[in-house]
Amino acid sequence: MFNTRITKMLGIEYPILQGGMQWLAKAELVSAVSNAGGLGFITAVSFATVQELRDEIHKTRDMTDKPFGVNISMLPVLMPGDLTDAYVDLVCEEGILVVETAGRNPEPYVPRFKAAGVKLFHKVPAVRFARKAESVGADAVIIVGFECGGHPGMDDVPSLIVLPKAVKELGVPVIAAGGFCDGASLIAALALGAEGVLMGTRFMATAESPMHDNFKQWMVEAQETDTMVVERSIRNAARIMKNDAAMTVARMEKEGATLEDLLPVIAGRVGREAYLSGDINLGAIACGQAVGRVHEIKSVAELMDEIIGDAREIVRRLEQVVSS
Ligand SMILES: Cc1cc2nc3c(=O)[nH]c(=O)nc-3n(C[C@H](O)[C@H](O)[C@H](O)COP(=O)(O)O)c2cc1C
């Protein structure tokens, strides 16, 4: 039943990927997703040095013999160019199966990935960027809709529109991201032509996600209206939890704040402090609208079982619906 170009390309059982998540997508979460038949991406930007990322790759290898990948987010705010370069070399050296890149055109790195046999999945928020990614040699494109946690781009187009449009225009496999969180949305993505889904928000709210329980509790109680998009004024739109920090960012932007003014609130290190301390109001924390569909904290294995079981059930029901 789950036989797509993505499951074949990656040699995985289910077309469910866990996207990069700064501070959260580390060995525990990544190996849990891969062990459950999906594929997780370690997030390079969580590690300050190449050696730290190398250690995390080795730790993940100790925790799973299934394939996993590395996310390299290339937003200039997140990662300086020379560190990106060093991470690309490391991924090639370590023989990583697949990278998820985001934030900038990955073209300069394509020759190195190709030479090392690393598959390149580039994540974009718009069809025009998807076409560009394909033209520079991406093996698959991940397209995020406006619902997504993290960076939805500047066009405000939801998955229901951007996904089938990308599928129609591209030859390489398209992976759906932004709002996907359960069996029903997995089947919806496949129906729209995707060959897999990539989830952030739903995996953020699992037992293996290394953030303070206060955040998990907040996610269980939150509604789909409890996120907001900030940082449009600096052309770095980000969907985050609606907390005190988000309100501060929105107010500062209205008052004409620059990136430098905003950094003390939006910098990644503040988010890390928040995750560790359990102060849910402390930082700008990425979170998608799918949070309104998170009702329980489960282990990754339980979540994956539920998604697959529900997906199979939905397909059976649809067979009845269509044949009647
Ligand atoms: C807490 C959190 C942190 C994230 N950090 C990153 C990151 O460091 N790099 C990246 O490429 N994407 C990041 N993302 C985006 C996800 O990889 C993914 O594209 C997105 O969550 C998909 O939409 P969804 O949240 O509706 O599942 C993050 C998302 C969340 C929720």
Q: How far is the CA of 261 from the centre of ligand 1 (A)?
A: 24
Same domain, yes or no: 155 and 31: yes
**Whether the Cβ atoms of residue 182 and residue 156 lie closer than 8 Å to each other:** no
pTM above 0.95, yes or no: yes
Q: Of 210, 239, 273, which one is at a domain's C-terminal end?
A: 210
Atom of ligand 1 nearest to the CA of 103: 11
| 26 found inside a domain | yes
The residue segments making up the domain with residue 219 are: 213-290
Same domain, yes or no: 228 and 206: no
**Token code pair at residue 21:** 């998540």
Residues in the ligand 1 pocket, defined by CB under 6 Å: 19-22, 24, 43, 45, 71, 73, 102, 123, 144, 147-150, 177-180, 198-202, 204, 286-288, 290
- The whole-angstrom separation of Cα 240 and Cα 138 is 28
| 323 found inside a domain | no
Residue 195 sits at φ, ψ, to 5 deg, of -110, 10
Same domain, yes or no: 80 and 101: yes
* Model confidence at 76: pLDDT above 80: no
* Model confidence at 315: pLDDT above 80: yes
| 109 found inside a domain | yes
Give me the CATH number covering residue 155: 3.20.20.70
Mean pLDDT, rounded, of the chain? 96
| 301 found inside a domain | no
| 24 found inside a domain | yes
Across the range 111-137, mean pLDDT stands at 98
Residue 148 sits at φ, ψ, to 5 deg, of -65, 150
What digits encode the pLDDT tens for the residues 38-68? 999 999 999 999 999 999 999 999 999 999 9
Nearest CA residue ID for atom 20, ligand 1: 200
Q: How far is the CA of 150 from the centre of ligand 1 (A)?
A: 5
Q: How far is the CA of 198 from the centre of ligand 1 (A)?
A: 9
| 303 found inside a domain | no
pLDDT of the residue at 80? 64
Chain mean position to CA 21? 6
Q: Of 178, 194, 210, which one is at a domain's C-terminal end?
A: 210
Same domain, yes or no: 196 and 223: no
Same domain, yes or no: 151 and 263: no
What digits encode the pLDDT tens for the residues 145-203? 999 999 999 999 999 999 999 999 999 999 999 999 999 999 999 999 999 999 999 99
pLDDT of the residue at 44? 96
**Token code pair at residue 198:** 């990539």
Across the range 242-254, mean pLDDT stands at 98
Same domain, yes or no: 173 and 218: no
Domains identified in the chain, total number: 2
Same domain, yes or no: 56 and 160: yes
Q: Of 178, 210, 242, which one is at a domain's C-terminal end?
A: 210
- The whole-angstrom separation of Cα 200 and Cα 119 is 20
Same domain, yes or no: 111 and 47: yes
Same domain, yes or no: 157 and 262: no
| 77 found inside a domain | yes
Same domain, yes or no: 193 and 274: no
What digits encode the pLDDT tens for the residues 78-110? 666 678 999 999 999 999 999 999 999 999 999
Same domain, yes or no: 107 and 220: no
Same domain, yes or no: 112 and 238: no
* 40: helix, strand or coil: strand
Strand partners, 171: none
| 15 found inside a domain | yes
